[in-house]
Amino acid sequence: GDRFRLVEKNKKEGTELFKDGNITHAAKRYKDALGHAAKFRDLNPEQTAQTTKIKVDLHVNMALCWTKLDNVDQALKSAEEALKLEPAHPKALYRRAAAFEKTSKFDEAKKDLNAVLKQNPEDKAALALAKRVDAQLARQKAKAKKMASKMFA
């Protein structure tokens, strides 16, 4: 019980720090919370589910922090960690898509966004990012076409 409270406390503090624009410290709190959560032993099924849920949330929050800090590699890693625990988690998919977009992996981003929008077609953030990704994909296609026409001219 005590350790779980520690996890909750760190998570809450992280979120407060994040809201205040204190991104680096927020990430540290989330990381601490994950450290505590990793030490849980002998959980009953309900506690296991609860722990998994909070770990997923923490990884998703970390991904957001890393994105804000322009550390795309870490953002991607955190999103992947969340998705290992819950493969269809919409926020984790969205965070990974955002990281993919930043690294010009538009096809991968599109796949994740489609998965998000399948679960929630009204997701405004996902719709906006999908629009950007579609524009990039169209641009890539146009560029490839131009290159091809030059090669075969």
3-state helix, strand, coil in the chain (%, to 5): 80, 0, 20
Tokens standing for 21? 């624009």
User: Could you give phi then psi for residue 4, rounded to 5 degrees?
Assistant: -60, -40
- Return the SS3 of 115: helix
Domain ranges of the chain: 2-151
For the stretch 89-139, pLDDT in tens is 999 999 999 999 999 999 999 999 999 999 999 999 999 999 999 999 999
CA atoms within 13 A on the CB side of 8: 6
Tokens standing for 67? 């994105």
Give the pTM: 0.90
What distance in Å separates the CA atoms of residue 64 and residue 20, rounded to the nearest whole number? 14
Q: Domain 2-151: which topology?
A: 1.25.40
